[in-house]
Structure 1
Amino acid sequence: MRQFARITLPLAGLNFVNQASRTMIATLGPLLALEFALSASELGLLAAMFFAAYAAAQLPVGLAIDLWGARRVQTVLALVAAAGFLLCAVATGTFGLALGRVVTGFGISAGLIAMLKVNTQWYARDRVAGMTGYGVLVGSFGSIAATVPVALLVPEIGWRGIFWLLAAMAMAVSLWIWISVPDRGPGAPAPPRRGLGQEIGEFGRIFRHPAFLRFAPSVALLSALNFTYQGLWAGPWLRDVGQQAEAARAVLLLCYAAGLMVGSAGTGQLASLLQRRGYHPMLVPWLAMGGIALVQVLLIAQPPRGMVALGLVWFAFALCGAAGPSGYAAIGQRFGAELAGRVATAINVTMLVLVFLLQNAIGWILDLWPRVADGGWNPAGYGWALAMTLALQAVAGWRMLRPE
């Protein structure tokens, strides 16, 4: 655990900031929509801008981490994230808020990638998924912090104060990474002195690899569903379909975050355990894909509106969605450690493009119905949006089941 505390934990600290930044829009989204008179599509676009920047940074960030190491890259990016939070804190309109979210998206873009790279260098292959799961578990506390704690803090410091607080945390994590994380793994050679064009060209080999083409779409969609709902649409769904008041929504989003925490540690450890016993590294992600599909069917059917029932449903949704990093680790094993950063970012950029499209598409679908009397969106729209994501998952799953 000393090794984990020195190497993985500081990088997980930036994942904490990442998760908090993503999740708090689900908590603050209804408030921002009312304050700035945003439609569903405009709110979806505001949230999606964050993920668009996140996606645009993926390939350059993956290359940078492979060439210069997670320590240097993450130290700088944490400061970029802090600048984005500051822009949000001082924003006077939706443009300023969107700009801040874009800068923040760049800053936190390598959270999972850096952990996977470092863990690949420092741990045995059958421990990478487990140790990454522990790191994602630490990051998941950011999701919890963005639910009930944020709801309690908003009346005291306002939503601007939340952004100021996140900026201070990002700067502190930047210093922690610089002090604690080594430049390279034990015995790892310095990056080869090849031309930049050759290094960039490795992405072509990754995207053409049969294992990537077979597994990456389903793994990316699994994580994208989690990002899409945790990052925005779970909160409005709980208001409009679940008929929950603001305080109850915060508690239910806390249940979502708890599912993410349990799933992050549990699925990673289970994947490592099963791999050591000879099972396919993708077994746990496969099971999670089936689980999240069943939860979507239940959400389309509209589960009972009691707090316990809704909490269990969204806990299960997050639990299954948290298996995405196990899929990242499984696909990464098909490539050398020197490409770990680029493989992970290749999956991540696919996932984040999906998040951008899904967050916007759900908003467009909801806007097909007139808004209801209390300012929310028609429950029927949510059902059609879930049917759309379920159909996409079926297509991706069919591709995954085809032989390499």
Structure 2
Amino acid sequence: MNKPILQKSKAITIFLVFAFGYFISTLLRAINATISPELVLDFDLTAGQLGLLSGGYFLGFASVQIPLGYLLDSKGPRKIVSYFLLLTIIGLILFSLSENFTSLLVSRIIIGIGVGACLMGPLTAYRVWFQDETQQRANSWMLMMGAMGMLFSSLPVQYFLPSVGWRGIFLFLALLTLICIFLIIFFIPAWNINRKNIENKNEGSLSEVWNNSFFKSLVPMGFFNYGGLFAIQTLWAGPWMITVSGYTAKESAEGLFLIYISLLISFFCWGYFVPRFSKNINDAKKLLKFGAPLNLIVLAYIIILGPNAGAVHWAVFVVSSIFLSLTQPAVGLAFSLNNAGKALTSFNLLLFIGAFFLQWVIGLIIDISVFFNFTEITGFRNAMTFILITSFLSYLYFIKKVQN
């Protein structure tokens, strides 16, 4: 199979430009964890509304994943990612001007739609332009840049909140997104892929993706394990530290900073070492069997500790979740080049629908617990227990499927 592999210098430039876009995407994904006290104060939000608002990002993101797969395979990442980011700018401006919960939610959904191509676009490009053995490394280092985006959503955002407010921060992010669009237009190559030289004329289909046995084995884990991880690290870790652990808003931002810098370092190390021991789908399966339960053990310990579990414990939780990052590049490698975009975006659909659902459900469980006269602390523990049980059952399903 002939692939249009790019020279190293060109590949590095492409990686850095796409990484900048993903940096913005994850910063926006996680920023509500830092500004949530401000939003709750300004709009008198309940826990359920806060979860729904933050989950709106994931809902918008998920809603475009299937058509995005077709668009990426046919039009290429340069056009699609830059066009989508224009929607992000619109969403950011609308969010900064919002005066009620409904406009916040609609704006948040538009932002999610706009950044929907910021990871799958690059991964589709890497699948074609990069060597197969570098897929895991490129994926891990993209996730590292994503962790950096989340890192900047914590203390840096908290630092500027008193001076410019959350509205000013969102306007600045709109400007940053515009710069990213120009970089993509100037530095990302056109999608001149002659598929007749790559594979046969079969362009692949969604049914081929969803009927693949390996893909099906990962469906519950993508929804509950990965979705639950996103729900916690991008929102509920912050409120847990404030409500359960007794942190101030500043201490919570410092805790988030610790969580995200731990994630960044772990992805950097993971990206350096993982290509040495995970070169194909079988290697990924073996590592997932061993590593996927580790974060569940940590989560169970956090639930038991309750108010004694703080930033350090959540940092250990997200770092122990790093084995889940094996799933996306493995899914890409499981399919032909013609179907890579569809496979990756289909899997991303699961992740972000799961993140939306679980981010909202965590808030609902907290509200319901309080309604029945339990404390908020008990509500948080109940919500995390729900994540633990559903994730463990999803892991057992994966084990059963890959052993058949």
Give the TM-score normalised by structure 1: 0.91
Change over 3 Å in CA distance of 1:269–1:219 after alignment to 2: farther
Q: Structure 1 residues 23, 174: closer, same or farther in 2, change over 3 A? A: same
Paired position in structure 1 for 2:312? 312
Match of 1:256 among 250, 254, 259: 259
Please state if 1:105 is matched with 2:86: no
Q: Which residue of 2 aligns with 1:394?
A: 392
Task: Please report how far the alpha carbon of residue 86 of structure 1 lies from its aligned counterpart in structure 2 after TM superposition.
Answer: 0.7
Q: Tell me how far 1:26 sits from its aligned partner.
A: 0.5
CA separation of 1:377 and 1:229: change in aligned 2, threshold 3 A: farther
Q: Distance in 2 between matches of 1:108 and 1:205?
A: 26
Report the aligned-residue RMSD.
Answer: 2.6
Cα deviation, residue 239, structure 1: 0.6
Q: Could you tell me how far apart the structure 2 residues matched to 1:102 and 1:193 are?
A: 38
1:102 partner amino acid: I
CA deviation after TM superposition for structure 1 residue 258, in Å: 1.2
Find the residue that maps to 2:310 and give its secondary structure: helix
Using a 3 Å threshold, how does the CA distance of structure 1 residues 357 and 220 change in structure 2: closer, same or farther? closer
Query: Structure 1 residues 193 and 401, CA, compared in 2 at 3 Å: closer, same or farther?
Result: closer
Q: Which residue of 1 aligns with 2:23?
A: 16
Task: Give the 5 Å matches for 1:83-122.
Answer: 83-122=90-129
Equivalent residues, number: 395
Q: Which moved more, 1:270-279 or 1:242-251?
A: 270-279
Offset of 1:399 from its aligned partner? 1.1
1:273-327 CA-partner distances (Å, limit 9, x unpaired): 102499612344444421210111111112674xxx7333121222233443321
Q: Which residue pairs with 1:385 in the alignment? A: 383
Q: Work out the CA distance in 2 between the residues paired with 1:97 and 1:41.
A: 14
Cα distance change of structure 1 residues 180 and 282 upon mapping to structure 2, 3 Å threshold: farther
When structure 1 is superposed on structure 2, of 43-52 and 257-266 the one drifting more is 257-266
Which secondary structure state, in structure 2, belongs to the residue aligned with residue 15 of structure 1? helix
- Equivalent residues in 2 for 1:3-402, closer than 5 Å: 3-184=10-191, 202-276=205-279, 280-302=283-305, 305=308, 310-370=310-370, 378-402=376-400
Shift of residue 82, structure 1, vs aligned partner: 1.1
Contact 1:215–1:331, Cα closer than 8 Å, also in 2: no
* Whole-angstrom distance in 2 between the partners of 1:145 and 1:297: 28
CA distance in 1, matches of 2:368, 2:318: 27
| Alignment CA distance shift 1:366-1:304 (3 Å) | closer
Structure 2 CA distance, aligned partners of 1:293 and 1:108? 29
Unaligned regions of 5+ residues in structure 1, if any? none
State the Cα distance separating 1:167 from its structure 2 match.
0.4
How far residue 186 of structure 1 moved from its aligned partner, in angstroms, is 8.1
Bigger mean CA offset, 289-298 vs 376-385: 376-385
Using a 3 Å threshold, how does the CA distance of structure 1 residues 278 and 80 change in structure 2: closer, same or farther?
closer
Name the CA distance, whole Å, in 2 between partners of 1:362 and 1:257.
21
Q: How many angstroms does 1:136 deviate by? A: 1.9
Q: 1:318 to 1:189 in 2, by over 3 A?
A: farther
Q: 1:265 to 1:221 in 2, by over 3 A?
A: farther
How many angstroms apart in 1 are the aligned matches of 2:313 and 2:209? 36
Stretches of structure 2 that go unaligned for 5 or more consecutive residues are: 1-7
Q: Deviation string for 1:70-105 (max 9, x for gaps)?
A: 111011111111111011111121122111111101
Is the alpha carbon distance of 1:278 and 1:83 closer, same or farther for their aligned partners in structure 2, counting shifts above 3 Å? closer
1:353 Cα deviation after fit = 1.3
SS in 1 for 2:284: coil
The one-letter code of the counterpart of 1:122 is W
Aligned CA distance change for structure 1 residues 357 and 383 (closer, same or farther; 3 Å): same
Q: Which residue identity is paired with 2:381?
A: G
Cα 1:236/1:304, change in 2 over 3 Å: closer
> CA offset at residue 193 of structure 1?
12
Q: Quick check: 1:126–1:275 contact (8 Å CA) kept in 2?
A: no
Amino acid at match of 1:57: V
1: CA distance between counterparts of 2:160 and 2:90? Answer: 21
Contact conserved, 1:130 with 1:268, CA < 8 A, in 2?
Answer: yes
Identity across matched positions, percent: 23
Matched AA of 1:380:
T
User: Which deviates the most, 69-78 or 309-318?
Assistant: 309-318
Report the residue type matching 1:360 in the other structure.
W
* Separation (CA, whole Å) in 2 of partners of 1:236 and 1:330: 33
User: Quick one: structure 1 residues 395 and 185, their matched pair in 2 at CA, closer, same or farther if it must change by over 3 Å?
Assistant: farther
- Give the partner amino acid of 1:204: S
| TM-score, normalising length: structure 2 | 0.91
Judging changes above 3 Å, is the alpha-carbon distance between structure 1 residues 331 and 386 closer, same or farther for their aligned structure 2 residues? same
User: For residues 270 and 97 of structure 1, do their structure 2 counterparts lie closer, same or farther at Cα, with a shift above 3 Å needed?
Assistant: same
Partner SS state of residue 283, structure 2: coil
